[in-house]
Amino acid sequence: MNYPGWRRTLRRELSWLMALKVGALALLWLLFFSHRTPVDGQAEGRRLALTPAAVGMATQVPPGGASRRD
């Protein structure tokens, strides 16, 4: 298409900004969410001073079943 000069410039700048935002989001994802570390539930419960009942609650299936939604 034959856009006027300002539209072409605006489109180019918006494209660069969108590419920059996608790159920044990808970088943040890599920094914060890409690594998986195993979690020891018992050790974390002791570290957070949770009672044994509270630690076991997270792994039990609720009475309504696994598909219950609030």
Residue 44 lies in a domain: no
- pLDDT 10s digits, 3-13: 678 899 999 99
- pLDDT 10s digits, 17-70: 999 999 999 999 999 888 777 878 888 878 887 776 655 555 555 566 555 555
Q: Which two tokens stand for residue 49?
A: 């001073």
- Look at residue 15 in the predicted model and tell me its pLDDT: 97
Residue 69 lies in a domain: no
Residue 20 lies in a domain: yes
Contacts of 11 (CB under 8 A, 6+ apart): 3
Q: Domain tally for the chain?
A: 1
Within 1-70, residue ranges assigned H as helices are: 5-32, 41-47, 52-57
Q: What DSSP designation does 38 have?
A: -
- Look at residue 24 in the predicted model and tell me its pLDDT: 97
Type of residue found at 24: A
pTM, two decimal places? 0.47
Range of the domain at 18: 1-34
Residue closest to 57 by CA, chosen among 41, 70, 68, 38: 41
Q: Is the pLDDT of residue 2 over 80?
A: no
